[in-house]
Structure 1
């Protein structure tokens, strides 16, 4: 079995991996890289697109599905697998991040999507693809791919210690492609959530919290210390996420449902509220927050950013100018979570995705089998047989 690293290695964004075994080829995720231009915005797939048999999408965030219209525009005709939640959310992601020309000619292919449930076993040629809940978003999954000789696990984005979502245990494998987004950050999610709660409590008379529509929004709602508002366009999606009880920890769905029911709806024509306000997306690149960030800046309205800020993004520029604060809300593994995943997977050879090279070097001190030198564009051979 071979892996072509098509995006997300030595970099954050355009996460994409091709798995090859014999004549079978599948693609795991097809993301874009926010802040990049030209070819670097898309996965490094070159002329191989027509040979891919199936695409498996882990979830609907832009760095995992944002290049779908681009892929279709370049002749992809294979199968497309995703969960129902990912299918529901992906069109909005493409509207925000796909090239408008590609999206017009190749809109979201609703009729081609093959739906699966997290936990299902899927097949493509001689490859068996096991899935499990990721703990990152409702409907988000990891993939374990077997060809009868070896097994590779691609974690996509996972959260082992989420306060909201369930993550299924990753199986033993011969090669682990790990979510290394935070490098060796040792600060646990509970401590970050407490810091965010304290910041919001100090700005409870009005502040803006840009957030992705799925995933982190529920983590923030759970962490907020008092009354809050949401952009009205988020409500239907948040209600659907909260209703997906199998993706949530016991008791969390009812708590979130009650919190959301009491939240005020806010629209673009309203004055800035005297409450903490959640609005998507998290970087200010798309959605309501692309309009709200400059408005908040002009008004001196406090802003708290809680996730990845690509260089040059509106959120990044505001933060660098000292006009927005930043506290990470972990929606990826911190150090203890990644070490635990690696140990339970059998301490296999490991690659880290979605992480700058210098942070991978830090992580290697804790995961000795990590290969921090691997980069987008390289091909990797999967070791055979130890854990199959």
Structure 2
């Protein structure tokens, strides 16, 4: 079994790879790289599209599904496997990040989507694809691909110590392609949540919290010290996420449902509230936050950014100028989580995705089998015979 690395290796964004065994080839994720342009915006997919038997999408964030219309425009005609939640959220992501021309000609092809549940196993030729809950978003999954000789696990985005979501244990494998977004950051999610809560408490006259529509929004709502406001366009999605109780930790649904019921709806026509205001997306590239960031900046309204900021994005520019604060709300593994994933997978050879080279080097001292030189365009052989 071989892997082709197409995006997200040595960099953050456009996460994508293929798994190849004999005549069978599947594509795992097809993301874009926010802040990039031209060919660097899309996966480095050079081999014929017609060789791909199936596409599997882990979740609906832009760096995992944003290039779907681009892929379709290049001639992909096969099935698209995703969960129902990913299917429902993907159109908004494509509207924000797909090329408008590609999107108008190749919107989400609902009739070609094959829905599966986290935990399902899918057969594609001689490849067996096992899935599990990611702990990152409702409907998000990891993939374990087996050809009978070896097994590779691609975690996509995972959160082993989320305060909101459930992550299923990664199985033993021969090669682990895991979410290394934070490198060797040792600060756990609970500590960051307290830091964010304290920051919000210091701004009782209101503040802006840009956030992705799915995933981190629920983590923030759970962490906030009191009432909040949400952009009104987020409410139906947040209600649906909270309703997917199988993806959430015990008791969390009731907590989040109560907090969302008490949250004030806010529209673009309203004055800035004297509450923490959640608005999507997290970088200020699209959605309500693309309008709210400059408005908050002009008004001196405090801004707290809590996730990845691509160079040159509105959030990055505001932070670099000293006009927005930043505290990471972990929605990827911190150091203890990465080591735990690797150990539970049987300490296999490992490749980190969504991570720059310098951070990978820091992580290698904790995960000795980590291969830090893997880059886009490389083909990697999966070792045989060590899985159990």
Query: Secondary structure, in 3 states, of the residue corresponding to 1:142?
Result: strand
Alignment partners' CA distance in 2, 1:47 and 1:165: 37
Alignment partners' CA distance in 1, 2:295 and 2:225: 25
Specify every segment of 5 or more residues in structure 1 that has no aligned partner in the other structure, as ranges.
Answer: none
**1:376 aligned residue:** 376
Deviations 1:244-296 (A, max 9, x none): 00000000000000000000000001111111000000000000000000000
Specify every segment of 5 or more residues in structure 2 that has no aligned partner in the other structure, as ranges.
Answer: none
Alignment of 1:91-106 (within 5 A): 91-106=91-106
Query: Secondary structure, in 3 states, of the residue corresponding to 1:190?
Result: helix
Deviations 1:170-209 (A, max 9, x none): 0000000010000000000000000000000011211000
Alignment partners' CA distance in 1, 2:266 and 2:139: 27
Alignment partners' CA distance in 2, 1:386 and 1:368: 17
**1:290 aligned residue:** 290
**2:273 aligned residue:** 273
Alignment of 1:287-366 (within 5 A): 287-366=287-366
Give the number of aligned pairs: 388
Alignment partners' CA distance in 1, 2:123 and 2:41: 30
Alignment partners' CA distance in 2, 1:297 and 1:377: 41
Pairwise CA distance, 1:123: 1.0
Pairwise CA distance, 1:47: 3.5
Q: Does 1:42 align with 2:23?
A: no
**1:167 aligned residue:** 167
Alignment partners' CA distance in 2, 1:269 and 1:40: 37
**1:251 aligned residue:** 251
Q: Does 1:74 align with 2:79?
A: no
Pairwise CA distance, 1:98: 0.1
Q: Does 1:225 align with 2:225?
A: yes
Alignment partners' CA distance in 1, 2:267 and 2:192: 29
Query: Secondary structure, in 3 states, of the residue corresponding to 1:9?
Result: coil
Alignment partners' CA distance in 2, 1:279 and 1:371: 38
Alignment partners' CA distance in 1, 2:47 and 2:365: 37
Alignment partners' CA distance in 1, 2:101 and 2:385: 45
Normalising by structure 1, what TM-score? 1.00
Pairwise CA distance, 1:375: 0.5
**2:202 aligned residue:** 202
**2:84 aligned residue:** 84
Alignment partners' CA distance in 1, 2:201 and 2:112: 46
Pairwise CA distance, 1:49: 1.4
Query: Secondary structure, in 3 states, of the residue corresponding to 1:177?
Result: strand
**2:122 aligned residue:** 122
**2:28 aligned residue:** 28
Alignment partners' CA distance in 2, 1:165 and 1:205: 30
Alignment partners' CA distance in 2, 1:170 and 1:289: 35
Alignment partners' CA distance in 2, 1:102 and 1:50: 19
Alignment partners' CA distance in 1, 2:241 and 2:270: 26
Structure 1 stretches of at least 4 aligned residues deviating more than 4 Å after TM superposition = none
**2:155 aligned residue:** 155
Alignment partners' CA distance in 2, 1:203 and 1:366: 38
Pairwise CA distance, 1:48: 2.4
Alignment partners' CA distance in 1, 2:98 and 2:6: 18
Alignment partners' CA distance in 1, 2:17 and 2:254: 37
